[in-house]
Structure 1
């Protein structure tokens, strides 16, 4: 890893200035592109009806999308450290455009699953944009800048469900993916015109870049802790959102697809906290913010468990869930990026691959818990994942305290 450092030289003085307008474009681009991963969640019940499938069978679509995303993160995001990011972003946006068109035209479960996996694999642009924003930011503002860009990403995640729910209820689920393909094409053309060229000073080959990931995992305990926590917390996020459309179709709600999507708007209250979480991470330390965020997420699931049959309880739980997940995500990424500034893309790869493997597991766990034990099973599954994340945080905090005490003694 030390040898890897020598392959870089600082070029911060040669980087373009991160203006407010460029920061806004990066945030909006993150939101528009990440939305591709979540359009299917409120539409799963309609897809199941189209292909005459059970809840457990159609749940594989959400899982495959997230597994594809994890693979795309591993294959493509490390290129951000060794290739010019602007061209990489535009090429990937072109690829996801084609993948979305295949989803829209799918006529059986196999084709839908393969196309959804391809959408996930090619929807990795946000995880190239976030390290780009951190690269362009001043060192003492990285938490704030990441928070702003991530707020755009979170708004995209939440509004994707709202938009797809409404469009799906009016024109059918296929229309949503045709619209998404058009949006990605327009976004590719826009970013080609406005993104700066940052270049790369790395002399590593692609194979060496991938190989270096293993070194970071074994040598950076904080990276392991943050990645495991991120995966567990995003898993609990997926447990809820993958099953929500099925839950509210039943008594006492009897809501349709459009209402399932509207719950995404409720989560905007949590997403609006994202920049504040970034500033708190800069001032108080990201580890503290992560622990508090995980506790807030556990509180959300307690509310789902005991008050989920009441609309106000479900709404409050959604707000707290998104608040906790998003705050933890921003704080985790801030401390990961600070480990080795010149390897942000590779560190982000390790973190986000873990994050979406956890998310895909959460989708799988949530749909099977729903099929077997309905809502109580969903709440139990999500709560257990959060408890595992809190145990991980506690172990990491204890090890950090012990390490600091040893350093003081020496």
Structure 2
């Protein structure tokens, strides 16, 4: 598999590599100019807006269906197609950050995203809308390219903190997307949401072109097909990626269980909350943005394992409060805050550890890692709606707690095994 990759001298990579040699181009792994506060803010804003494009449609589906004459039972495909595009991007676009100029890749993605968003806003036919939404999802993976880009630009001693800062922008983008799109749609219509986002993405493309430093590609003479194959080799050969990927699958399954099913008891009697009220309620999850920044700093201090264990314990306990959603909104709010804090703390710690494990393959590592995220989110959403329909909210809470406890058990067993191995090493 590694035959497609050769060093400049013509010799094949060393056995056990993933096709792209470690340290082949020192400049590719060295921060070109460092990562200042203003650049961190710019990357965070870009990530926040890019990921928001994936979630804008959720409160607008009824308006889209009415505007395009689509049955309400079919309009949910809009969200599905966006996530299909996102999953394809994780597999086929994110790994390119290890092969080609990262800045050029980011600018291409944000520029095409701006055009696709304009296409969504202008679409008058159902197939055109779906096609444009697939491209929006495909280009939205610029978020993961930028996370890996941040890890390259930041000094190793500050990598976790830098990744945490950018991730906090992602969290805020997800949380604010639904509220913002509903607000703009109330003032204008659903198309205005996408035209406005298109203009912002185009503006950000110009700003990124002026402000972001170049990050040289890995000069390996590798092929794209070999690059994609090496992603799957990483999945099979990197223990840190495997463990942290499994933890990501579980924590985001629990996260999806909450956010997919929560609207059902809140909108039903006796609470009967409006969609606007439920959207505002979701802002309680802003604690996740704070967790993202702090967890990265703790990971830089060598506390990644401890942070993971504490956060997974909190994640499991949060379901005790969430279980009272039908009787106490305060208890639910407390549970949401703790859950979101815990999920983002583990998520940032995961990324910090996988970047440290393979600094020469950061784009492929984050692409492979986010595949676990996508699978966990999809499984959690499907399980949550089925469980609520058959058994009600208490069963949903039990499901979320069980998934969270499984993640905690996995961390506990693997942490003890890792410690035991270290204790036996000479």
Is TM-score (shorter-chain normalized) higher than 0.5?
A: yes
Deviation at 1:124, TM superposition (A): 0.7
Judged with a 3 Å threshold, the aligned counterparts in structure 2 of structure 1 residues 85 and 313 are, in CA distance, closer, same or farther, namely same
Please name the residue that 2:253 is paired with. Answer: 235
Deviation at 1:377, TM superposition (A): 4.3
d(CA) in 2 for partners of 1:381 and 1:63? 23
d(CA) in 2 for partners of 1:182 and 1:290? 39
Please name the residue that 1:378 is paired with. Answer: 396
What is the correspondence of 1:328-367 to structure 2 with a 5 Å cutoff?
Answer: 328-367=346-385
Unaligned runs of 5+ in 2: 1-15
Please name the residue that 1:140 is paired with. Answer: 157
Judged with a 3 Å threshold, the aligned counterparts in structure 2 of structure 1 residues 342 and 275 are, in CA distance, closer, same or farther, namely same
d(CA) in 1 for partners of 2:64 and 2:387? 20
- Is it true that 1:213 corresponds to 2:211 in the alignment? no
What is the correspondence of 1:179-258 to structure 2 with a 5 Å cutoff?
Answer: 179-203=196-220, 204-258=222-276
d(CA) in 1 for partners of 2:123 and 2:268? 28
Deviation at 1:358, TM superposition (A): 1.6
Q: What root-mean-square deviation, in Å, do the aligned CA atoms of Structure 1 and Structure 2 show?
A: 2.7
Judged with a 3 Å threshold, the aligned counterparts in structure 2 of structure 1 residues 42 and 316 are, in CA distance, closer, same or farther, namely farther
Structure 2 residue corresponding to 1:397, chosen from 415, 422, 425: 415
Deviation at 1:81, TM superposition (A): 0.8
CA contact (8 A) 1:165 1:261 kept: no
What is the correspondence of 1:318-337 to structure 2 with a 5 Å cutoff?
Answer: 318-337=336-355
Please name the residue that 1:8 is paired with. Answer: 24
- Is it true that 1:128 corresponds to 2:145 in the alignment? yes
d(CA) in 2 for partners of 1:41 and 1:240? 16
Judged with a 3 Å threshold, the aligned counterparts in structure 2 of structure 1 residues 124 and 262 are, in CA distance, closer, same or farther, namely same
d(CA) in 1 for partners of 2:250 and 2:127? 28
Structure 2 residue corresponding to 1:40, chosen from 32, 35, 57: 57
Structure 2 residue corresponding to 1:290, chosen from 302, 308, 331: 308
Structure 1 residue corresponding to 2:91, chosen from 53, 67, 74: 74
SS at match of 1:253: coil
Deviations 1:117-163 (A, max 9, x none): 43222201111111111111111111111111111111111111221
SS at match of 2:380: helix
SS at match of 2:299: helix
TM-score relative to the length of structure 2: 0.86
SS at match of 1:248: helix
Stretch moving more, 322-331 or 206-215: 206-215
Unaligned runs of 5+ in 1: none
SS at match of 1:306: coil
Structure 1 residue corresponding to 2:107, chosen from 90, 115, 118: 90
TM-score relative to the length of structure 1: 0.89
Judged with a 3 Å threshold, the aligned counterparts in structure 2 of structure 1 residues 316 and 351 are, in CA distance, closer, same or farther, namely same
- Is it true that 1:271 corresponds to 2:289 in the alignment? yes
CA contact (8 A) 2:311 2:342 kept: yes
CA contact (8 A) 1:130 1:150 kept: yes
SS at match of 1:4: coil
Select the structure that is richer in helix. Answer: 1
